[in-house]
Structure 1
Amino acid sequence: MDMMARLAGWQIRPPLIEHPPLPTCADADRLLVDRPGTRLKNLFLRDNYGRRHALLLTRPGKQVDLKALSRQQGWSRLGFASAERLQRYLGVAPGHVSVLALVNDVAQQVELWLDEELKDGDDFHCHPLRNTATVLLSRSDLLRFTGQTGHTPLWLPVPSF
C-alpha cells in the first residue's frame, strides 16, 4: 500500500523524511537523526488472554509500568504482542510500527492509547508502514487519520517506573 497516496486521498499531506532503516528509537539516537517534531515510542500490547489489543504511543525514553497500566485500564495482565499478532492485526513487522499501521486494522480490533504527556506535541514522527521513512503528522492530521480509520484515540496518564 502506498501510505502517502492513502493519506493524500484523505487530504493529509505531511512532510516525508527518507532515512536509513530505524527499527527502534535507540537506532535513531545512534544515527543522530535530527528531525523536528515529537518523537514517539509505539508499543503494541495485548491482554493476558490475547483477546484485546492496544497500540500505545508514548515518549521514547519512558519506561511504561505495564502492570499499573493494566490495572488502570481494567485489562488482565498486559504484555507485548508477538510479531505474528502484529502482522495479523496491524499488517507490519516489528520495527515498522506507528499509528499509521491502524489503516490495516479494518476490523477495529486494536484500541489506540495516547500518553497524556503527548497532548502538547505536534508533528508526530510516524513510519509510513516502513522504517526507512518518517512522516511528520500534525495533531490535526493525526485526528483526521484516526477518524478515517475509525479509531478513537484514548488519551490517558501512562504510569511509568
Structure 2
Amino acid sequence: MDEKKAYEILKKYNIDYKKFNHKVLTTLEGNLNLVEGQQVKNLVLKNKKERQVYFIIIEESKYLDIGKLESEIGEKRLSFLSEDKLFEYLACHVSAVTPLGLVYDVNNKVKVLIDDSLDLDTTLGVHPFVNNITLNIKFRDLLRIFDDINTEYELVNI
C-alpha cells in the first residue's frame, strides 16, 4: 500500500496530524523517543475458523496475554492473522500495521479492541502504511473514522 493513501484518508476526514520521519521500525522497544505522544502497538488476531478478526490497539510497553484476552472477550484459540489475510483485510503488511487500513475492511470482518488503559483524549501514533514514518493524530479522530465506516470497537482490559 502506498503511504499517499493514508494522507488521502486523513484529508477526507479533515484530520490534522504531525509527521515524524524515522528509521525503519520493526519494534517500538527502545525507539519511543523518536516521536511524540502516546505510542501503541497494533496486533491483528483471528479466532480459530477466522469467523472474527480482531484489531488490537495496546499501549506499546504492554505484553499481550492472549489467554487473558480470550477470557476477556469470550474467545478460544486466538492466533495471529497471516500476512496474506492481513493485506486482504487491511491493505497493510506486518511491519506497518495501521488502523487506517480498516477503511479497506468493506465487509466489517474486523472488530477493534482498544486497551482500556489508553487515553482516548490525547494523540496516538499510526503508521501511514509504511514503518519509517509515524503520524500523531487525535485518538478521537480515529474513532470518528471507525464510526463512519461502521467498524465496531470496544475498550477492553488487556
| TM-score calculated relative to the size of structure 1 | 0.87
Letter of the 2:69 partner, please give it: L
Counterparts of 2:106 and 2:132 in 1: how far apart (Å)? 24
Q: Runs of 4 or more off by more than 4 Å in structure 1?
A: none
| TM-score calculated relative to the size of structure 2 | 0.89
Q: Number of matched residues?
A: 155
How large is the RMSD of aligned CA atoms in angstroms? 1.7
Q: Assess, with a 3 A threshold, how the Cα gap between structure 1 residues 23 and 121 changes in structure 2: closer, same or farther.
A: farther
1:47 equivalent in alignment to 2:50:
no
**1:121 to partner: Cα distance:** 5.7
8 Å contact kept, 1:47–1:76:
yes
Q: Which of 18, 22, 25 lines up with 1:15 in the alignment?
A: 18
Counterparts of 1:111 and 1:124 in 2: how far apart (Å)? 19
Counterparts of 2:121 and 2:58 in 1: how far apart (Å)? 11
Structure 1 partner of 2:28 = 25
**1:20 to partner: Cα distance:** 2.3
Letter of the 2:15 partner, please give it: I
Letter of the 1:71 partner, please give it: S
Letter of the 1:60 partner, please give it: E
Counterparts of 1:33 and 1:79 in 2: how far apart (Å)? 30
8 Å contact kept, 2:9–2:100:
no
Aligned-pair identity (%): 26
Q: Which ranges of structure 2 fall in alignment gaps of 5 or more residues?
A: none
SS at match of 1:111: strand
Q: Deviations over 1:86-140 (max 9, x none)?
A: 1111111111102111122111110000000103562101001111211111122
Q: Which ranges of structure 1 fall in alignment gaps of 5 or more residues?
A: none
8 Å contact kept, 1:23–1:94:
no
Counterparts of 2:81 and 2:9 in 1: how far apart (Å)? 26
